[in-house]
Chains A and B, each alone.
Chain A
Amino acid sequence: MDFLAILTNALRGALGPEAAIYALAAVGLNVHFGYTGLLNFGQVGFMLVGAYGTAISVLSFELPLGVGVLVGIACAVVLALILGIPTLRLRGDYLAIATIAAAEVLRYLYRSEWAEPLTGGVFGLKQFADGFFELNPFTGALDLGPFDFSARALWLMVVAWSAALLAAGFVGLLVHSPWGRVLRSVREDELAARSLGKNVFAYKMQSLVLGGVFGAIAGSLLAVNSQSLNPDSFMPIITFYLWTIMILGGASRVMGPILGSVVFWFLLTFLDSFLRQAIGAGLIPSSVLAPSDIGAVRFAAVGLGLMLLMIFRPAGLIGNQKELRLDVR
Chain B
Amino acid sequence: MSGEHETSGEEVLHEREELAQAEHAIAESSPSVGAVRAAEALADVEPVPGVAKLDPILVADNVSRHFGGVRAVEVDHLEVQRGTITALIGPNGAGKSTFFNLVTGFDQPDSGSWSFDGTDITGTSAYRIARLGMVRTFQLTKALMRLTTLENVMLGATAQRGERMLVAPLRMVWKRQERDIEQRSDELLERFRLSHMRDEYAGTMSGGQRKLLEMARALMVNPSMVMLDEPMAGVNPALTQSLLGHIQALRDEGMTIVLVEHDMDVIMSISDWIVCFAEGKVIAEGRPSDIRTNRAVIDAYLGARRALPDRADTPKPVTEDET
Query: Footprint of B on A, CB under 8 Å?
Result: 170, 173-174, 177-182, 184-185, 187-189, 191-200, 206, 210, 252, 322-323, 326-329
Q: A191-B106, A194-B127 are in contact. Are A206 and B165 (CB under 8 A)?
A: yes
Give A187's nearest chain B residue, CB to CB: B146
Residue pair A197, B221 in contact (C-beta under 8 Å): yes
Residue pair A185, B130 in contact (C-beta under 8 Å): no
Interface: B145 (CB within 8 A) = yes
Q: Contact mask B139-169 → A, CB, 8 Å, 1/0? A: 0001111110001001110101111110111
Residue pair B136, A195 in contact (C-beta under 8 Å): yes
Q: A188-B147, A196-B217, A326-B145 are in contact. Are A178 and B178 (CB under 8 A)?
A: yes
Task: A177 to B104: give the CA distance in the assembly, Å.
Answer: 28
- Pairs across A and B, CB under 8 Å, 8 listed: A170-B169, A174-B165, A178-B154, A192-B143, A193-B155, A195-B136, A197-B130, A326-B203
Task: A177 to B175: give the CA distance in the assembly, Å.
Answer: 9
Within 8 A of A (CB), among B117-150: 125-128, 130-131, 135-138, 142-147
Q: Contact mask B170-213 → A, CB, 8 Å, 1/0? A: 01001000100000000000000000000001011000000000
Chain B residue numbers with a CB within 8 Å of A193 are 144, 155
Give A180's nearest chain B residue, CB to CB: B168
Chain A residue numbers with a CB within 8 Å of B158 are 197
Task: A174 to B174: give the CA distance in the assembly, Å.
Answer: 12
Give A179's nearest chain B residue, CB to CB: B168
Majority DSSP secondary structure for residues of A touching B: helix
Residue pair A177, B169 in contact (C-beta under 8 Å): yes
Residue pair B135, A196 in contact (C-beta under 8 Å): yes
Known contacts A182-B163, A197-B130, A252-B146; 14 additional CB pairs below 8 A are A174-B169, A177-B174, A178-B154, A184-B151, A188-B146, A188-B147, A193-B144, A195-B130, A195-B138, A197-B128, A322-B201, A326-B203, A326-B204, A328-B146
Give A192's nearest chain B residue, CB to CB: B142
- Size bracket of the B interface: 35 or more
Task: A193 to B218: give the CA distance in the assembly, Å.
Answer: 11
Task: A254 to B222: give the CA distance in the assembly, Å.
Answer: 33
Residue pair B155, A196 in contact (C-beta under 8 Å): yes
Task: A315 to B156: give the CA distance in the assembly, Å.
Answer: 28
Residue pair A191, B142 in contact (C-beta under 8 Å): yes
Chain B residue numbers with a CB within 8 Å of A189 are 142, 144
Within 8 A of A (CB), among B82-134: 104, 106, 125-128, 130-131
Expressed in whole angstroms, the minimum distance between the Cβ of B43 and any Cβ of chain A is 34
Give B201's nearest chain A residue, CB to CB: A326
Residue pair A194, B130 in contact (C-beta under 8 Å): yes
Task: A196 to B221: give the CA distance in the assembly, Å.
Answer: 7
Residue pair A328, B145 in contact (C-beta under 8 Å): yes
Residue pair B138, A191 in contact (C-beta under 8 Å): yes
Partner of A177, one of B135, B143, B168: B168
